[in-house]
Amino acid sequence: MPARSCDVLIVGGGPAGATCAWRLVRAGLDVLVMDKHDFPRDKVCAGWITPAVIESLELDCAEYAQGRVMQPIHGFRTGIVGEAQVETRYPETASFGIRRREFDHYLLQRSRARLSLGEPMKTMARDGGAWLVNGEIRTPLVVGAGGHFCPVSRVLGTRLGHGETVVSAQEIEFPLSARERSECRLDGAFVQFYFCPDLKGYGWCFLKGDYLNIGLGREDNHRLSGHVEQFCQWLQQRGSIPRNLPGKFNGHAYLLYPASHRKLTDDGALVIGDAAGLAYPQSGEGIRPAVESGLMAAEVILEAAGDYRQCRLEPYISRVTGRFGKRNPRQPGASWLPQKFRQKLATRLMANGWFARHVVIDRWFLHTGQRALLAR
């Protein structure tokens, strides 16, 4: 006999898993969240979130900010590395900077789900009409929220890394000393995003409270460390970041929607967030899709009312495509325009204030045309 059981087991306590748990617990379900790490834990991420995330999570910013970093952002500096830059300001708070070790811990605690931390999911086998996880947890429904390398996705048949176009990114986050802060030309109210000259990715530099986060992500991971190094040298020459960076950059991978094609549902199983490959294609923002997919999955689970056959969970797929668009295996960034021409055109467009505000920031990064998804 299994020692433990629950209505829903969520594998992964990141923003996707914590959001799904929060909604399900609120509806009265007995939810267990399992994560291989103890919390608080670090997560490789810049920690930039859009206002829609705050709305979907019904986050009380004043309460959250007590003892945690919550950096209001009022503008963006954008451009192509080595080219002219544009500053775009907003009268209201246009984004926030959080630290993932604080944010994820807060969301997980707030969910009021039962937690099993420091426990990796190792096995997941069918056991009659239910699942037996790690040989001891019996549940009719497993939600895969384990990020890019989610073990639930594997069980559902996804061959992780096979035929997947992965975005690889590296970042470093550290506290700035008072001297470094006075030497560097940094303003917490501005996030800096600079596209690589070949347009295959972008780097960022971002002050959140006392912490500086620097990083770069690309569609190809060929010479990623070299690109990161070049980007840092350029920022250092401009006096934007300290000459000496402490420690090493940490790397991680994830998939962009709509090019990802992971299986989203099965009998008694759903996958959400990075496990489903839902990050926005232009910005790589993955927290908002993680939160929204967690909410959409929760609604479908509640509507299924205990009957978790695949046919009852499939509405989740239509909600995902309704929200983020139809899946499209076309490679991100692919274009019929010759590369040289694209670069020339991009340099001109990125230096244009109207384009920077209305296309790069409003459309690609803030998704201002898409309202926040609210929990019912």
Ligand X SMILES: Cc1cc2nc3c(=O)[nH]c(=O)nc-3n(C[C@H](O)[C@H](O)[C@H](O)COP(=O)(O)OP(=O)(O)OC[C@H]3O[C@@H](n4cnc5c(N)ncnc54)[C@H](O)[C@@H]3O)c2cc1C
Residue 264 C-beta: closest distance to ligand X, Å: 13
Neighbours of 123 (CB within 10 A): 12
Closer to ligand X by Cβ: residue 292 or 343: 292
Residue 293 C-beta: closest distance to ligand X, Å: 8
Answer whether 74's CB lies under 8 Å from 89's CB: yes
Phi, psi of 60 (to 5 degrees): -90, 100
Residue 32 C-beta: closest distance to ligand X, Å: 11
Closer to ligand X by Cβ: residue 47 or 268: 47
Closer to ligand X by Cβ: residue 156 or 343: 156
Residue 126 C-beta: closest distance to ligand X, Å: 18
Task: Order the strands of the 142-144 sheet from edge to edge.
Answer: 114-117, 31-35, 8-11, 142-144, 269-271, 265-266
* Burial (0-12, 13-18, 19+ Cβ within 10 Å), 156: buried
Closer to ligand X by Cβ: residue 117 or 351: 117
Answer whether 172's CB lies under 8 Å from 215's CB: yes
Closer to ligand X by Cβ: residue 9 or 184: 9
Closer to ligand X by Cβ: residue 37 or 342: 37
H or E segment at 34? Answer: strand 31-35
In one-letter notation, the amino acid at residue 202 is Y
Q: Which residues bind to ligand X, rule: CB under 6 A?
A: 11-17, 34-37, 43-49, 120-121, 145-147, 149, 151, 169, 171, 215, 217, 252, 254, 273-275, 279, 284-288, 290
Residue 151 C-beta: closest distance to ligand X, Å: 4
Q: Which residue sits closest to ligand X, CB atoms considered?
A: 286
Residue 142 C-beta: closest distance to ligand X, Å: 11
How far apart are the C-alpha atoms of 255 and 258, rounded to whole Å?
9
* Three-state DSSP state, 196: coil
Neighbours of 146 (CB within 10 A): 28
Closer to ligand X by Cβ: residue 37 or 138: 37
Which are the contacts of 245, defined by CB distance < 8 A and separation ≥ 6?
172, 174, 214, 232
Residue 279 C-beta: closest distance to ligand X, Å: 5
Q: What is the DSSP string of 287-349?
A: HHHHHHHHHHHHHHHHHHTT---HHHHTHHHHHHHHHH-----SPTT--SS-HHHHHHHHHHH
Residue 99 C-beta: closest distance to ligand X, Å: 11
Closer to ligand X by Cβ: residue 46 or 350: 46
Closest of 244, 240, 274 to residue 256, by C-alpha: 274
Strands 137-139 and 130-133: antiparallel
Which tokens sit at 12? 């992964």
Closer to ligand X by Cβ: residue 147 or 242: 147
Residue 354 C-beta: closest distance to ligand X, Å: 25
- Quick check: bond before 2 cis, omega within 30? no
